[in-house]
Structure 1
Amino acid sequence: MKAVILAAGYGTRLQRDIENDTTGNFKHLGGIAKPLLPVGPCALISHWVQALNKTRCVDTVYVVTNDLYFEAFQQWAQEFPNVKIINDGTRRNEDRHGAVACLQLAVKLCAVDDHLLVIGGDTLFKEDFSLREFTERFFEVQNKDKESNLVLSYQCKDEETSKYGILELDEDLKVQRMKEKPLLSETSSRNACPCFYMFSRTSLPLLDIFLNEKKNAPIEERDAPGTFLSWLILRSLTLDNNKALCLLTFNVINHAWFYFRRPVYVHRISGRFDVGNLASYIECDKYFKDQLHNPTVYLI
């Protein structure tokens, strides 16, 4: 398997918080990409690469960043021979391509034809998360259907539904639909979905179809990686006879386009750290300095 770490964001909220911080305690973090921020004993992204290497669940890690931070990531990656840094060519947040386009860039540039683990570069999890357990669960759902994909989910608070992508599941933990930042009244589910997905190799060609559909849409419709996940889940249409169409690929039937979804299942965890602003960074760093019980096996 392969892994892609999405690290092409500009961290505008965090950098603004650092500039406005009156204590001066975090001035040294100015201009540092979020995945390269020190979290406990190492950079945030290093926690992932170290765990991926220890578990040997992937053979190559692709990190997609932008031109502004490219050299910093190149320097960081010198200690990891199996990491390849990819430059998306942008230097401003206003010119960003979006996370899904960055994912497609890695797949095309490196000719990825394998199951692909996608990791948000500003995300870490609590200690109950295990890469080994996650990959075991992925192969379990693959045994059910070779088209299957696997994502993580944790229970969020009622007031947090409007902040995250929320998954609605059946009794087999199969995703029926994903609602992006719904109001509390719009869903009874509290299954938040962080950016951590295992896409089957058969799902990767659908990136082209998704981005072609969204080529004239606002950047917000293809920026967050969850937009592709939501599209992947909801690609069933209704025929004239009201029978739902849920097949495995797309084709032309009676001169109309029909898109066919892939099965998506859930692996549950207790929670995550999402480094979006200075407060969330401080909370994350404090946890890894003061509360992490078994750092040698973290994420493994």
Structure 2
Amino acid sequence: MSKCFTTRCFKIKALILAAGYATRLGELTKNKSKPLLEVANKPIVQHIADKVQQIPDIDEIFVVTNNKFYQDFLDWKNSYESSLKITIVNDNTVSNDDRLGAVGDIHFVIENMKVRDDLLVIAGDNLFGFSLPSFVDYFTERENKSIVAFKDLQDPLKVKGRYGVGILHGSQVIDFEEKPQEPRSTLAATACYLFSRDDLYLVREVAEDLGCDAPGNLVKHLATKSEMHGFVFTDHWFDIGSLDQLEEAGKLYDSPQS
């Protein structure tokens, strides 16, 4: 499905990043991909896919994974009732040592699946409370310039040394710091982006020149070479990297108000 505006008509592809090896979770993810871990009796990737399907302009969801878990994601796709086409993409890596990294996987999908549309990218271990249709509306209101979601943690100590931090002028990203010890804002970068089709070539530049496993490089590069805006939210956000975070997410999503 596409939506036409005064300047152009566009479609959106969605990409869920699920090719990591989650070594920090130990035995829990030794034989299971982190996005396939369950929160409130549903795989994390399915929570994300459910939210993506609320966007009228999405016409396909890509899920990029690795060779180790490729069949597991095919099995998940076959068991999941989706209103959208879902394509599982194998990045052909087999271990943490040869992983492509987040930026590398975005580039891999753009090139191999010949993506030419605007691209929504979400990490497969991120759960968040804000509405994705409102995220897309924000993109449209800013003339289809690339955007990134920032969680306002409202306390410098909560972002210090832990998260990439965005510095905004109005809504525009004017600088980005990777896990600063003296953060200049409380805006923690999440792994939720909507890239303009006009900026996709910049992903290749970052992958080739600045490193494939540092999404912060991508935000900084787009903010410098093009124009990027920050979507600031205060709803819940889980960047699941530990058993404690997984359990905390489970408690929230099991609650009646979630």
> Counterpart of 2:139?
138
Runs of 4+ deviating beyond 6 Å: none
**Is residue 2:128 matched to residue 1:163?**
no
Identity within the alignment, %? 32
SS at match of 1:48: helix
2:150 corresponds to which letter in structure 1? S
44-53 or 116-125, which moves further after superposition? Answer: 44-53
Q: Give how far 1:30 is off.
A: 5.3
> Counterpart of 1:95?
98
Say which of 233, 237, 247 aligns to 1:269. Answer: 233
Q: Note the residue ranges of structure 2 that are not aligned, 5 or more in a row.
A: 1-11
Q: Give the TM-score of the pair, scaled to structure 1.
A: 0.76
- 1:1-300 to structure 2, matched below 5 A, reads 1-15=12-26, 18=28, 31-78=31-78, 79=80, 80=82, 82-126=85-129, 129-142=130-143, 146=144, 148-156=145-153, 157-159=155-157, 160-170=159-169, 172-184=170-182, 187-214=183-210, 221-234=211-224, 261-270=225-234, 271-290=236-255, 292-294=256-258
Q: Give how far 1:226 is off.
A: 2.6
SS at match of 1:51: helix
SS at match of 2:161: helix
Map Cα deviations across residues 74-113 of structure 1 (whole Å, 9 max, x no partner): 1001134611011111111011111111101111111111
Q: Give the TM-score of the pair, scaled to structure 2.
A: 0.88
Count of residues in correspondence between the two structures: 241
CA contact (8 A) 2:35 2:45 kept: yes
Q: Give how far 1:135 is off.
A: 0.8
CA contact (8 A) 1:115 1:199 kept: yes
* Gap change, CA 1:124 and 1:57, over 3 Å in 2: farther
Q: Give how far 1:166 is off.
A: 0.2
> Counterpart of 2:5?
none
* Alpha-carbon RMSD: 1.6
In 2, Cα distance between equivalents of 1:47 and 1:34:
13
Q: Which has the larger radius of gyration?
A: 1
Q: Give how far 1:181 is off.
A: 0.4
2:72 corresponds to which letter in structure 1? A
81-90 or 154-163, which moves further after superposition? Answer: 154-163
In 2, Cα distance between equivalents of 1:57 and 1:39:
27
